[in-house]
Amino acid sequence: MLPSRTFAMTSAARGDEPPSSARRTRWRLTPDAFACLLARLDPDPQRAGEEYERLRRALLVFFRGRGCEQCEELCDETLDRVARRLGEGGQIDDPARFAHGVALRVWQETWRRRPARPLHEAHLPSASASANDGPEDECLARCLARLPAVDRELILAYYAFDKRAKIDHRAQLARALGVALTGLRTRAHRIRAALETCVRACLAADTTRVTA
């Protein structure tokens, strides 16, 4: 069984259309680097192809589980980086484990570059149950803009999902940030409290201006 990217690698070697990840990065995946990856997965070409496909499926599950778009491209980017490491003479004791570590870094980079989610999709807590949605959303946008970028990204990510997906996503977010889940919860609650205070003050100021 040949890996799914064998045809793409053959085309790249001829100078035809490069793989998608090669178009995105300065480094082009070479046939030699790809061969190094396959050889490290298993000396037998047949089993190497099977291990490659198994690893690729696991990486796709990893990215899909984090709600990523373009999972195929992210998976290719991950495997390209592993192949590059091997092609440049790097030592990798456990390719699958190493690839999952690279996948985590790729996901973190993608998460940082993502466009801001619309505020109404972020599931942030309401500052006042009786407040009109329009002014509240405007105040929330202002208060979010005043936060340090790291706090803004954290709070939007923290409230990005509902129900079971929320639990899994927060656990993944804590691992990505290198903190315990309790530490993540504490930080998020602190930011949330500051936002609620800011939104209440903003709404009160707007009301004062309207009635003045």
Residue 210 has pLDDT above 60, yes or no: no
| pLDDT for the residue 4 | 55
What is the mean pLDDT of the segment spanning 90-94? Answer: 89
Give 192-198 contacts, CB < 8 A, sequence gap 24+.
Answer: 192/124, 192/125, 192/155, 194/147, 195/124, 195/125, 195/127, 195/140, 195/143, 195/144, 195/147, 195/155, 196/125, 196/127, 198/139, 198/142, 198/143, 198/146
Does this model's pTM top 0.75? My answer is no
Confidence of residue 57 (pLDDT cuts 50, 70, 90): very high
Residue 83 has pLDDT above 90, yes or no: yes
Q: Which residues contact 74 (CB under 8 A, 6 or more apart)?
A: 59, 63, 68, 103, 106, 107, 110
Residue 130 has pLDDT above 70, yes or no: no
For the segment 147-199, what is each residue's pLDDT rounded down to a tens digit? Answer: 888 888 888 888 776 666 778 888 888 888 888 988 998 998 899 888 888 88
- Give me the chain's average pLDDT, please: 76
Domains of the chain, with CATH numbers? 6-113 (no CATH), 119-211 (1.10.10)
The amino acid present at 167, given as its one-letter code, is: I
Q: Which residue has the higher pLDDT, 127 or 50?
A: 50
Residue 122 has pLDDT above 50, yes or no: no
For the segment 5-49, what is each residue's pLDDT rounded down to a tens digit? Answer: 553 443 433 344 434 443 444 567 888 999 999 999 999 999 999
